[in-house]
Structure 1
Amino acid sequence: MPDPSLVTEGLTIRFGGHVAVNNVSCAFHPGELTVIVGPNGAGKTTYFNLISGQLSPSEGTVRKGGTDLTRMAPSARARHGIGRAFQLTNLFPNLSVLENIRLAVQARSGHGWRMFSNVGRFSTLTQEARHYLEATKLSEKADMLAAELPHGDQRKLEVALLMAMEPDIYMFDEPTAGMSLDHTPDVLDLIAALKQDKTKTVLLVEHKMSVVRALADRIIVLHNGELLADGPPDEVMQSQIVRDVYLGSSGEDAA
């Protein structure tokens, strides 16, 4: 197995007297898709927030390769290859679909907003942005405002934004939340395609067991902020304590 791309060691956060994440140590590897499950209040999204920098830990560290990210802002972590998608879409609603992607390409290339930038460079950025629209099957909606897209297409656009940033670590927090059955397969196919790139690491918070079964190489179970189980999907889902506490005796209930 390759060296870990991302490591959390003793990660802990307290809110007053409440310990939301308690001493969670995990190593994540390139070419692996890890699904994090647990009931409401288990600490899944809080753990994600600690990794991506929305929250600072009370104790413990987050490292990517040899770089300590623990006290870095989310923007700095993004520059170090941490890409995060949220439960609620995080788009520029009054810009077109193409403009959303072009901004992500500009940010990654280091150009940012430049009023009098070279026209040829602008054309190159636009062409690159269209590549990500094609990959996410959004080319026909390039000129639509992001706010006008159906919810499912907004989620696809968010995946396209992440892809345009070319991170090493992809983080998805319930990517199919609120989506219709018609749109769900499109987003799942995009995530499945990402994990085929063995240089990328994919982390996914999800409660739908059908999604977990379809995508997971590995499952982590959190309970009251603590790591309850970690391993291959079949092994974790057959664990009696996991079945009793999270999945129900049939193993079909939401995690």
Structure 2
Amino acid sequence: MGVLQTHDLTIRFGGHVAVNAVSCRFEPGTLTAIVGPNGAGKTTYFNLISGQLPASEGRVFLEGQELTGMSASARTRAGLGRAFQLTNLFPNLSVLENVRLAVQATESGAHLRGLNLWSIWQDHAQLTQQAQDILQQVAMMHQAQATVSSLPHGDQRKLEVALLMALKPSVYMFDEPTAGMSQDEAPVILNLIRQLKSDKTKTILLVEHKMDVVRELADRIIVLHNGQLVADGEPSEVMASAVVQEAYLGAKPAQTHPQPHVNASAEEGV
């Protein structure tokens, strides 16, 4: 079994089927890029997995545990870590305080419930040390006392990755992690994702429009088109396929080829 699986995952908005019976398995040690044209259902699929949207049909499993009926926060506690297209930070707190809160949320809480002042101080010191260790890993220790609202956009995205690391998920989910970044800022986030990828116990899902990023980072690509899974495989194989060239890259089909749609061979491979 893969660490993360979706079985016939589907959502309808009125008469529109935004994600249509997507079944997929995501393995540890693999970075899977999810690509497709605008409106293909990529972010909606992410929202179904992480619990921001309830599925009309289908099921989600993480390490054999069914998550389908769980809230987004319960799925986070179960091991799903989600980074959003917009940063989800506490802007009026410091960088260190943001990470320390994430570390604290990860702890079981049992050792934080006592009223002994010494133990409370000791717990606080331990949480602070863990937060500082994470900031060292993302090269933000020099900004530990800076207020989050004062950080440039790129550093806020770095901090969001630090918060994910603090949660210690088994699955990292990145939705357009370089969106809105300058050419100077984007490599920092990509380097952090490379670091996470080096841990072969982790599973990484990446929604990304920039195909140079996909080609560099992805071990596997899946393609969504009109809410359906139409291709799944190694990057070179998937990027060369007719369905991707037509549906995603906008290439014109050959005269004898029908207009872009879910082809039978891709559908059979789902």
TM-score range, shorter chain: over 0.9
User: In the alignment, which residue of structure 2 is the partner of 1:253?
Assistant: none
User: In the alignment, which residue of structure 2 is the partner of 1:67?
Assistant: 65
Corresponding residue to 1:136 among 135, 138, 145:
138
User: In the alignment, which residue of structure 2 is the partner of 1:35?
Assistant: 33
Preserved contact between residue 36 and residue 247 of structure 2 (Cα < 8 Å): no
User: In the alignment, which residue of structure 1 is the partner of 2:243?
Assistant: 241
Secondary structure, aligned partner of 2:85: coil
Distance 1:46 1:169 in 2: 17
Secondary structure, aligned partner of 1:161: helix
Secondary structure, aligned partner of 1:247: coil
Deviations 1:93-137 (A, max 9, x none): 111000000000000013398796611111111011001111111
User: In the alignment, which residue of structure 2 is the partner of 1:122?
Assistant: 124
User: In the alignment, which residue of structure 2 is the partner of 1:148?
Assistant: 150
User: In the alignment, which residue of structure 1 is the partner of 2:93?
Assistant: 95
Distance 1:52 1:33 in 2: 17
Structure label with greater radius of gyration: 2
* Residue 66 (structure 1) shift: 1.5
Contiguous gaps of at least 5 residues in structure 1: 251-255
Corresponding residue to 1:56 among 54, 57, 63:
54
User: In the alignment, which residue of structure 1 is the partner of 2:17?
Assistant: 19
Preserved contact between residue 10 and residue 57 of structure 2 (Cα < 8 Å): yes
Distance 2:26 2:223 in 1: 14
Runs of 4+ in structure 1 off by over 2 angstroms are 110-117
* Residue 240 (structure 1) shift: 1.6
The one-letter amino acid paired with 1:189 is N
Distance 1:47 1:189 in 2: 25
User: In the alignment, which residue of structure 1 is the partner of 2:263?
Assistant: none
Contiguous gaps of at least 5 residues in structure 2: 253-270
Structure-1-length-normalised TM-score: 0.94
Corresponding residue to 1:83 among 81, 84, 92:
81
Deviations 1:146-190 (A, max 9, x none): 111000000000000000100000000000000011111110010
Secondary structure, aligned partner of 1:118: helix
Is residue 179 from structure 1 mapped to residue 181 from structure 2 by the alignment? yes
User: In the alignment, which residue of structure 2 is the partner of 1:222?
Assistant: 224
What is the Cα-based RMSD across aligned positions, in Å? 1.6
Aligned pair count reads: 248
Distance 1:75 1:106 in 2: 14
* Residue 210 (structure 1) shift: 1.0
Preserved contact between residue 3 and residue 64 of structure 2 (Cα < 8 Å): no
Distance 2:40 2:93 in 1: 36
Secondary structure, aligned partner of 1:19: strand
Deviations 1:14-49 (A, max 9, x none): 000000000000000000000000111100000000
Secondary structure, aligned partner of 1:207: coil
